[in-house]
Amino acid sequence: MGEHSFDQVTRPLLEMKGIAKRFGTFYALQGVDLPIYRGEIHALMGENGAGKSTLMKILAGAYSASEGDIFIDGERFVITSPKDAIKAGITLIYQEIHLSPNLTVAENIFLGCEIKHWYGLDRKAMANISQKILDRLGTQFSATQKVSSLTIAEQQQVEIARALHRNSRVLVMDEPTAALSSRETERLFELVKKLRDEGMAIIYISHRMAEIYELADRVSVLRDGKYVGSLIRENLDSATLVQMMVGRPLTDLFNKESVPIGEEVLRVENLADGNKVQDVSLVVRAGEIIGLSGLVGAGRSELAHLLFGVKRPTQGKIYLSGGEISFNSPRDAIAHHVALLPENRKDEGLFLDLNILKNVTMATIERDATMLVINQTKGKQATQEAIEGLKMRVPGANVNVSGLSGGNQQKVLLSRWAAIHPKLFIMDEPTRGVDVGAKSEIYRMMIEMAKQGVAILMISSELPEIVGMSDRVYVMREGYMVGELSGNDIKQEQIMAFACGAQ
pLDDT score at 110? 92
pLDDT score at 115? 86
pLDDT score at 462? 79
| CA-based radius of gyration for the chain | 25
Going from the C-alpha of 502 to that of each of 238, 447, 478, 497, the distances in angstroms are 32, 32, 14, 5
* Domain 253-500: assigned CATH number: 3.40.50.300
Residues 6+ apart with CB under 8 A from 215: 41, 43, 189, 192, 193, 204
> Are the C-beta atoms of 380 and 357 separated by less than 8 Å?
yes
Burial level of 36, CB count in 10 A (0-12/13-18/19+)?
buried
pLDDT score at 138? 85
Q: What sections of 33-122 are H helices per DSSP?
A: 52-59, 82-87, 105-109
> Are the C-beta atoms of 413 and 310 separated by less than 8 Å?
no
Q: What sections of 327-454 are H helices per DSSP?
A: 330-335, 345-348, 356-360, 365-368, 376-389, 406-418, 436-451
pLDDT score at 218? 95
What number of helices (H) and strands (E) belong to the chain? 18, 22
Strand stretches in 199-328, DSSP E: 201-205, 218-223, 226-232, 264-272, 280-285, 289-293, 315-320, 323-325
pLDDT score at 4? 45
Domain ranges for the chain, please list them.
Answer: 14-249, 253-500
Is the alpha carbon torsion for 118, 121, 122, 124 positive or negative?
negative
pLDDT score at 424? 95
Going from the C-alpha of 119 to that of each of 104, 109, 123, 189, the distances in angstroms are 19, 21, 11, 42
Going from the C-alpha of 154 to that of each of 179, 185, 433, 487, the distances in angstroms are 12, 11, 22, 46
**What pLDDT tens digit does each residue of the chain (503 aa) get?**
334 444 445 789 999 999 999 887 778 899 999 999 999 999 998 876 678 889 999 999 999 999 999 999 999 999 999 899 999 999 888 877 788 999 999 999 998 888 888 888 888 999 999 999 999 888 889 999 999 998 888 998 898 898 889 889 999 988 888 777 778 888 889 989 999 999 999 999 987 778 888 999 999 999 888 999 999 988 888 778 877 877 755 455 677 888 889 999 999 999 999 888 999 999 999 999 999 998 777 899 999 999 999 999 999 999 999 999 999 998 899 889 998 888 877 777 777 777 777 777 776 655 655 544 555 666 666 666 666 666 666 666 677 777 777 778 888 888 888 878 889 999 999 887 777 777 888 898 889 889 999 999 999 987 888 988 999 999 998 899 999 999 889 888 888 888 877 65
DSSP 421-443: --SEEEEESTTTT--HHHHHHHH
DSSP 99-110: --TTSBHHHHHT
CB atoms within 10 A of CB 283: 17
Residues 6+ apart with CB under 8 A from 237: 231
pLDDT score at 169? 92
pLDDT score at 1? 38
> Are the C-beta atoms of 89 and 72 separated by less than 8 Å?
yes
Strand stretches in 168-247, DSSP E: 170-174, 201-205, 218-223, 226-232
- Name which of 247, 250, 228 is nearest 238 in CA terms: 250
pLDDT score at 372? 47
Q: Fold match between 14-249 and 253-500? A: yes
pLDDT score at 377? 64
pLDDT score at 350? 73
pLDDT score at 475? 94
Is the alpha carbon torsion for 368, 374, 378, 382 positive or negative?
positive
> Are the C-beta atoms of 300 and 291 separated by less than 8 Å?
no
> Are the C-beta atoms of 355 and 416 separated by less than 8 Å?
no
> Are the C-beta atoms of 241 and 219 separated by less than 8 Å?
yes
* Domain 14-249: assigned CATH number: 3.40.50.300
pLDDT score at 352? 75
